[in-house]
């Protein structure tokens, strides 16, 4: 069992989707981020080359499945295939945002369960291990036939808020839907046992949702709500829940999500609700600094992935970093 990281035994590469996060992870580990060379052919095919030898080494390839998702996925598959074909000892796919986790079931005739398909493609391409963060549907974890670690940013969020002295008398944690209420409850426990409520949500389409009410803690009488979600894409779910909270009389709302995708009018939808005083997300999805709202806080998950990579390499437990349970003791 290795006692410390061996810079000559580890290779870290990044695709083009989130180079800033990849640099942060490499910096946390004090391991160089190796170069990756990419260019399109004249027929629009992609050419990829890893810029350092991987033979006999542990290789970590970092790529988020963010728009353009198909291009980034293909680049990731090619990088995995290159590492395997060049005789890497281990090939780790580090996917901070696995967007296909939404495609977890066959909900219409003649459609693909795309999350399972992508999981199979990652293995076929050469991944011996996958690491990701906060899958939209927890059951997607079971689609992978290689060891897969779903990490959480929950402690990052908890650390961000612990100094604010929120109490169960003035603050409630609200999940945008019942399906994510357990995750919200874990977060609430980390802040001293705050009460929890959840939206009773029905998805009408990819861009439309209806929240018919809140279940759990009674909302009236609280000073603020922490609205906790796994990701915000169009902002429809969060907007509906926040409007219910405003109607219930809450004067302060803080929106929290792991994956800030923020497509189209999402940020404007939130800006239109003056009671939202802060939006807190992470850098699993890269956000342009231009046009960021002043109340947007971005926390880096580089230490979480860096620590998980280090423990994995040293053959140590990473259970305490997992999404779906709390490690005791």
What positions carry a catalytic annotation? 201
Q: How far apart are CA 236 and CA 233, in angstroms?
A: 8
Give the burial string for 248-272 (b: 16+ CB within 10 Å, else e).
Answer: eebebbbbbbbbbbbeeebbebbbe
Within 8 A by CB and 6+ apart from 282, the residues are 133, 153, 156, 258, 259, 260, 298, 299, 300, 301
Sign of the dihedral through C-alpha 232, 234, 237, 239: positive
Reduced to 3 states, what is the DSSP secondary structure of residue 17?
Answer: coil
Side-chain-side CA neighbours of residue 75 (13 Å): 28
> What are phi and psi for residue 315, nearest 5 degrees?
60, 40
- Check if the beta carbon of residue 106 is closer than 8 Å to that of residue 113: yes
- Total length of the chain: 329
């Amino acid at each position: 069992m290795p006692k410390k990281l061996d810079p000559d035994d580890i290779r870290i590469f990044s695709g083009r989707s989130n180079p800033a996060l990849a640099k942060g992870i490499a910096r946390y580990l004090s391991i160089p981020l190796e170069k990756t060379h990419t260019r399109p052919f004249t027929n629009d095919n992609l050419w990829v080359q890893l810029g350092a030898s991987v033979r006999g080494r542990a290789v970590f390839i970092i790529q988020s499945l963010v728009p353009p998702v198909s291009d980034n996925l293909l680049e990731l598959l090619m990088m995995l295939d290159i590492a395997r074909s060049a005789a890497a000892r281990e090939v780790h796919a580090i996917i901070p945002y696995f967007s296909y986790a939404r495609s977890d079931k066959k909900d219409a005739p003649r459609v693909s369960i795309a999350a399972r398909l992508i999981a199979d493609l990652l293995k076929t391409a050469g991944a011996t291990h996958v690491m990701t963060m906060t899958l939209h549907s927890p059951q997607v974890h079971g689609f992978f036939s290689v060891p897969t670690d779903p990490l959480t940013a929950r402690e990052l969020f908890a650390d961000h808020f612990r100094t604010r002295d929120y109490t169960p008398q003035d603050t409630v944690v609200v999940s945008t839907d019942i399906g994510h209420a357990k995750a919200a409850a874990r977060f609430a426990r980390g802040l001293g046992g705050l009460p929890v409520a959840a939206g009773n949500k029905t998805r009408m389409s990819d861009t439309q949702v209806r929240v018919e009410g809140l279940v759990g803690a009674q909302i009236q009488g609280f000073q603020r709500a922490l609205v906790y979600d796994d990701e915000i894409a169009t902002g429809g779910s969060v907007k509906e829940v926040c409007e219910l909270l405003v109607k219930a009389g809450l004067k302060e709302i803080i929106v929290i999500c792991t994956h800030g995708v923020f497509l189209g009018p999402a940020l404007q939808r939130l800006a239109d609700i003056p009671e939202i005083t802060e939006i807190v997300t992470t850098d699993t999805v890269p956000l342009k600094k231009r046009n960021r709202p002043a109340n947007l806080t971005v926390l880096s998950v580089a230490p979480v992935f860096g620590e998980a990579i280090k423990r994995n390499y040293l053959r140590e437990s990473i259970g305490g970093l997992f999404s779906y349970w709390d490690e005791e003791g």
